[in-house]
Chain A
């Protein structure tokens, strides 16, 4: 399996802050990288697919970048509803998830 390593595992931040989460693959996955948001008690929600494409209905403050092995999810101005856990997922060969990044209120 391709291994996905996310960092940081958690971060404390404030409304209005810019947030960056990184994800590294153990081998090149081209642009087959997706980002999800999960809130407690809910199923994950697709935010970004193919590294940088915004899923329909997702606010434009979310963006993704990267290719090959290194990827980034950016939230340009954190809103109260964005406090959640974020996961990356590679879909180059089957599927693997990163370990998650919990975004908490400072």
Chain B
């Protein structure tokens, strides 16, 4: 069974760093892209970036380039999304999903809620 399991909810202060994770199982982790998606409270889905764990090829949405870092450790089938200095506006639900161009994002993680508040 294909599964993507994300790390738990986080509460952080502005300026703090954070790294959240997305662990894949039940499929060849190195053969599919992983996409990260932000959903701010009451808003739509925003593509942040995408990584191919097989060779770590990474692409970022222009809206998020320089704001986050996406990485993957294929040895443990885990992708990461990290911030070096959080802002209140980073408060959102973050989803990872398995992605392939001709099929779309077919399996999703359960989401990680990040709350940034002083």
- Interfacial residues, chain A to chain B (CB-CB below 8 A): 1, 32, 34, 36, 38, 43-46, 49-50, 55, 85, 87, 89, 91-92, 94-100
Contact = CB atoms under 8 A, between A and B. Distances in A.
Contacts of B95: 43-44
A67 to B, nearest CB: 13
A91 B61 contact: no
Contact of B99 (A95, A96, A98): A95
| Dominant SS among interface residues on chain B | strand
Contacts of A95: 35, 47, 50, 99, 105
B76 interface: no
Contacts of A49: 102-104, 106
B45 interface: yes
A92 B101 contact: yes
B24 to A, nearest CB: 15
A32 B105 CA distance: 12
Given A1-B62, A95-B35, A32 B45 contact: no
Interface centre among A38, A94, A96 (most CB of B within 10 A): A94
B50 A89 contact: no
